[in-house]
Structures are given as C-alpha cells and as structure tokens.
Amino acid sequence: MNNNELQRLTENLAIKYFGVPFKHKAYFNQRLRTTGGRYLLKSHNIEINPKQLKHFGEDAIVQIVKHELCHYFLHLAGKGYQHRDTDFKDLSAKVGAPRFCNPTETYESRANYKYQCVSCKANYLRIKRVNTQIMRCGHCGGKLKLVKVFEK
C-alpha cells in the first residue's frame, strides 16, 4: 500500500462509517515509532505508521484510520476529540474504532544496555546509558554495574 491507496482508503472509510467526506491528506510517516497513527490539529492531516502495515496487515491500518477519523471529525465539529472525552468514546464505540493499536516494538527489543544491582542482583534494561555513579537500585539502593551492551 502506498500513500495514494491510503488516501483512497481513508476517503472510503470516512464515507462508509461517518457519512462525511474526508477533505485532507492521509499518508505514511516513517518517523512514527510508538503510535499507530496521529491526527494533526493544525493541518487536519492524518499520519499512519507504516510498521503497522508491515507487522499486522491492512486490517490494522483500517482500524487505525477509523480511530484517527474519530479525532478528525470531532475536532472539526468542535466537540471533544481527545481520548478522555465522552464524545470521542461514544463515536469510537459507534464505528468500532479501537482505543489502542498493537505495538510493533517492545521496550525490551529497543533496550541497548543491561544493568544489574551489585547487592540484590535486580536487572534493569535501559535504552540510554545511565551514570552508575549517580543512579541506584530502585529496590535496595545498591550500586548498579553495566552487565551487557546489546549490539544493534
């Protein structure tokens, strides 16, 4: 699926589930990491994480687009478009849009460093390097030592 196909899919889903045309742009954004998609308040465009398509297929993209369209139409109507708003919850339930998407990466897969407490042997995975002179064990307050650096 490319950006043109995603645009057509978004336009079709807007008509099918909301009965209103989608008049802005929908496209894939390679830089998205922790989210399936996002609705941009200023431009009213929708960005989709292409990793969702790669990992979970077109059905996942359909669900994410429906979720983002809920944000889109509620924002344009001046209603509550945030996740916590009743308007958003009601519309999401009505069209069958999911609250969350499946994660493509876990924290463990992104971790670059493994630390271990010298006293209680508790393990800590971290993406960024930590200063072992300052940081202490959260369980017992003992010193941490670098055990492993993961090569990526």
- pLDDT, tens digit, for every residue of 124-134? 999 999 999 99
Told to judge if 68 belongs to the known catalytic residues of this protein, a careful annotator would answer yes
Look at residue 102 in the predicted model and tell me its pLDDT: 81
Look at residue 110 in the predicted model and tell me its pLDDT: 87
Distance CA 134, CA 60 (A): 43
Q: pTM here?
A: 0.76
Known binder of ligand: residue 67?
yes
Residue-wise burial string across 16-51, b where 16 or more C-beta atoms lie within 10 A, e elsewhere: ebbeeebeeebebeeebeebbbbbbeeeebbbbbbb
Could you say which of 68, 105, 108, 151 is catalytic? 68
Take residue 137 and report the two structure tokens written for it. Answer: 């064990």
Please report the sign of the dihedral spanned by the C-alpha atoms of residue 93, residue 95, residue 96, residue 99: negative
Known binder of ligand: residue 44?
no
Please report the sign of the dihedral spanned by the C-alpha atoms of residue 101, residue 102, residue 107, residue 110: negative
Sheet bearing 37-39, strands edge to edge: 26-28, 46-48, 37-39
Distance CA 58, CA 17 (A): 17
Look at residue 151 in the predicted model and tell me its pLDDT: 83
Look at residue 34 in the predicted model and tell me its pLDDT: 82
What is the CA 86 to chain-centroid distance, rounded? 21
Look at residue 45 in the predicted model and tell me its pLDDT: 98
Q: How many CB atoms lie within 10 A of CB 65?
A: 25
In the predicted model, residues of the chain with pLDDT beneath 50 are none
